[in-house]
Amino acid sequence: MPTKIEKDIVSGRDTTGHDWDGVKELNTPLPNWWVIVFAACVVIAAIQCLLYPSFPGVTGYFHGLLGYSQRTAVDRAVAEVQAQRAEAMNQIATASFEDIRKDPQLMAVAMAAGRIIFADNCQPCHGAGGGGQPGFPALAAGAWIWGGTLPVLQQTITYGIRSGDPKARSSQMLRFGAFGILKPEQIQQVADYVMTLYGKGEDGKDVSAGKAIFAANCAVCHGAEGQGNRTIGAPRLASRVHLYGDARETVVAQVTDPRMGVMPNWNARLNTGQIKAVALYVHALGGGE
């Protein structure tokens, strides 16, 4: 309850006259510096409310005397970054692979752009880091069907494989079983021999019959030792890397009625600079030649 104002014997300050169970409140004014700072903050806040977007309205909001908008500022910043990237991508599009790799800054832009483009367009099929999956080549393994140099990669990415583009790479494997070219037992025999090419044949098993069938029907494309032929896109069979797997039943199925995938022609979606950037990125995954 209010009491008379008196002087506190400890601090020497006057009390406010308020007393709570013997506890008296001192009359301690705010420091002048605090009052000045507070008043300045109020004034600055009022000015900002006038200069920048602030008060809501019925159909909109007060845009401020300066007409400033964070959305506009962000859009402007994004446009500036895109313009910078476009300039760099134009340089990548016109420069040779050799010149790009000699320019550290340009190469850094190409690798960054290539990584993003790969993640957006290629990774769903070829896997993160180009690890591949059944039916989609492992780009980091170096087991190239058509070749792994930068110009070859650029051509493959640009026009695709069996994509329908006039310049697309195209190869066809005969359906040896579906067309009756080989009998089922002959396919079994050639499968036994093919497995020996990559070290998975049965020890001591006679594969001479399969070898003869292979020489007469398969060697013309895949090579006498299963080394493949990049000119026509015939895979290397004497390899630990296989597009659809290396199990015996997979080999039999592929000889009988082969699967042949399609890679899109990315020139319908990506420009030259983007294609060269992703080619550089793929080449750097570990399997580039």
In a domain, residue 107? The reply is no
In a domain, residue 162? The reply is yes
User: What is the SS3 assignment for the chain?
Assistant: CECCCCECCCCCCEEEEEEECCEEEECCCCCHHHHHHHHHHHHHHHHHHHHCCCCECCCCECCCCCCCCHHHHHHHHHHHHHHHHHHHHHHHHHCCHHHHHHCHHHHHHHHHHHHHHHHHHHHHHHCHHHCCECCECCCCCCCCCCCCCHHHHHHHHHHCECCCCCCCECCCCCCCCCCCCCCHHHHHHHHHHHHHHCCCCCCCCCCHHHHHHHHHHCHHHHCCCCCCECCCCECCCCCCCCCCCCCHHHHHHHHHCCCCCCECCHHHCCCHHHHHHHHHHHHHHHHCC
pLDDT the model gives residue 2: 57
Ramachandran quadrant class, 169 (left: phi over 0; alpha: psi -120 to 50; beta: rest): beta
pLDDT the model gives residue 17: 82
pLDDT the model gives residue 3: 63
Cross-strand bridge partners of residue 229: 234
Type of residue at 69: S
In a domain, residue 5? The reply is no
244-281 confidence digits (pLDDT tens):
999 999 999 999 999 999 999 999 999 999 999 999 99
State how many domains the chain has: 1
In a domain, residue 26? The reply is no
In a domain, residue 70? The reply is no
Full-model pTM = 0.72
What is the residue whose two structure tokens read 């850094």? 108
In a domain, residue 245? The reply is yes
Instruction: For residue 144, give its domain range.
Output: 129-287
pLDDT the model gives residue 285: 94
In a domain, residue 253? The reply is yes
Whole-number Å distance between alpha carbons of 107 and 181: 51
In a domain, residue 168? The reply is yes
pLDDT the model gives residue 10: 79
Whole-number Å distance between alpha carbons of 136 and 125: 6
pLDDT the model gives residue 60: 87
pLDDT the model gives residue 159: 98
What is the residue whose two structure tokens read 């013997």? 22
Q: Which residues of 212-230 are buried (b: 16+ CB within 10 A; e: fewer)?
A: ebbeebbbebbbeebebbe
Low-confidence ranges of the chain (pLDDT < 70): 1-3
64-79 confidence digits (pLDDT tens):
999 888 888 898 888 8
Whole-number Å distance between alpha carbons of 23 and 53: 48
Domain of 227, CATH number, reads 1.10.760.10
pLDDT the model gives residue 216: 97
Q: Do 231 and 128 contact (CB within 8 A), yes or no?
A: no
Q: CB within 8 A of 32, min separation 6: which ones?
A: none
